[in-house]
Amino acid sequence: MADREYERGCLVDKVDETTSNVSRDFCCYKLNVFDWLGDIDDPLAQNKYIEVRFKNTRKEIFLNASDLQLKIGDIVAVEASPGHDIGIVSAIGNLANQHVNRQKFAKDQSFKKIYRKARAHDIQKWKDAISLEIPTMLRTREFADSLGLEMKIGDVEFQGDKTKAIFYYIAEDRVDFRELIKKMAEEFKIRIEMKQIGARQEAGKIGGIGPCGRELCCTTWIYDFVSVSTNSARLQELSLNPQKLAGQCIKLKCCLNYELEVYLDARKNFPDDDINLKLAEGEAIHIKNDVFKNLMYYEIKINDISVIRALDVDKVKEIIELNKKGIFPEKVFDENSKVSPKISLSFKEELNSDSLTRFDTPQKPKQKNRRNKNRHNKFRKPNEKKN
């Protein structure tokens, strides 16, 4: 069996089947765990809870009831329902305890147990089960197509004892797969568990590179998928372009929520965008905000030409208070011309400011050199002399 089949979501450096240990190389996969508490020599570090990883993004916390001396990378046999499963230890000690606290398990929840370190026959059966996953997935897709089911079988994960398999599928609507399960049970002779996942979870399992140039966040570190709405893009003054806002899962990008709290905190100082400014020149309509420069952009008609100008937030608040008193200030934008002197171009001025050739690289004039002179002399007759 190739070492790559031991990856199950992490990059493998080497495998030692005699000690049942998988040494994984440093990587940025989701299932790779950096033990940031490993350098701390804590004699009171508990080994009660052990984190075990399985295929792709599946991780679980198990109870070390037998007080086994385990280390990261050990292949262990754990309790399953029914039978047993085979996984790889990904976190121990204080780090595993931190993961237990982070996931906020119920106080009365009973954890499944770790039976033992995997033996030779456990690993062999596990290897045989892994080799069946891809053929089983392809065969199941054929069954689904023959039954006309609107679903996609995205992945198959066999249990370590080869008695059960989890089928991950994607479907937009409710699917009646009872007939499908009958065919699968007759064909594969195993227990079947159907688990529906969303587009974000599928992207996390498949992986990929985002437009930022890094691996997808759902593949590397995101565990809990928070709902993302277009309001997050509006508050950050982003263009509502579906092609730019959607990720590889065809859903809104999770990173739209990363800086949202910073924008919400900065916008607390901004007045309501729906309030138009009443000036002596006319009514100024709000266009957009520049949160970090503390500017608000308004459109106003000057000499029947629409012009977009910027105002400082404090000045906007002052004008709003004057409007409440029935006062319409004059020459507001002239007073604030120092705020943004280069952005006060009208639509017509912007069109006529430069031609379309402004993007072209200027060409230097050709210089006459000896090469051109020799080229002309090449056509001179041999007996022709220069006067």
Of 40 and 313, which is predicted with more confidence?
313
Phi first, then psi, for residue 324 (nearest 5°) are: -65, -25
Q: Is 33 found in the same domain as 54?
A: yes
Is pLDDT above 70 for 381? no
**End-of-domain residue from the set 174, 200, 226:** 200
For the chain, give the mean pLDDT.
Answer: 79
Angle at 178 between CA 173 and CA 180, to 5 degrees: 90
Q: Is residue 260 part of a domain?
A: no
Q: Is 7 found in the same domain as 96?
A: yes
Q: Is 140 found in the same domain as 104?
A: no
Q: Is 150 found in the same domain as 74?
A: no
Q: Is 147 found in the same domain as 108?
A: no
Q: Is 330 found in the same domain as 295?
A: yes
Q: Is 171 found in the same domain as 88?
A: no
Q: Is residue 259 part of a domain?
A: no
Q: Is residue 94 part of a domain?
A: yes
pLDDT the model gives residue 106: 59
Is pLDDT above 70 for 10? no
Is pLDDT above 60 for 219? yes
Q: Is 149 found in the same domain as 83?
A: no
In angstroms, the CA 352 to CA 200 distance is 46
**Lowest mean per-residue pLDDT among 147-151, 215-219, 259-263:** 215-219
Q: Is 18 found in the same domain as 106?
A: yes
Q: Is residue 223 part of a domain?
A: no
Q: Is 153 found in the same domain as 79?
A: no
In angstroms, the CA 170 to CA 153 distance is 7
Question: DSSP of 192-256, one letter per residue?
Answer: EEEEE--HHHHHHHH--B-TTSSB-HHHHT--S-----HHHHHHTT----HHHHB-TTSSB-GGG
Q: Is residue 234 part of a domain?
A: no
pLDDT the model gives residue 340: 44
DSSP state of 84: E
H or E segment to which residue 164 belongs = strand 164-170
**Lowest mean per-residue pLDDT among 59-63, 168-172, 361-365:** 361-365
Number of structural domains found in the chain: 3
| Average pLDDT over every residue of 29-57 | 73
pLDDT the model gives residue 6: 55
pLDDT the model gives residue 136: 93
**The model's pTM:** 0.65
Q: Is 98 found in the same domain as 12?
A: yes
- Whether the Cβ atoms of residue 201 and residue 57 lie closer than 8 Å to each other: yes
- Among residues 328, 339, 358, 349, which one has the least CA distance to residue 290? 339
3-state secondary structure 346-382: EHHHHHHHCCHHHHCCCCCCCCCCHHHHHHHHCCCCC
- Note down the domain range covering 49: 3-119
In angstroms, the CA 70 to CA 134 distance is 31
Q: Is residue 79 part of a domain?
A: yes
**End-of-domain residue from the set 155, 175, 200:** 200
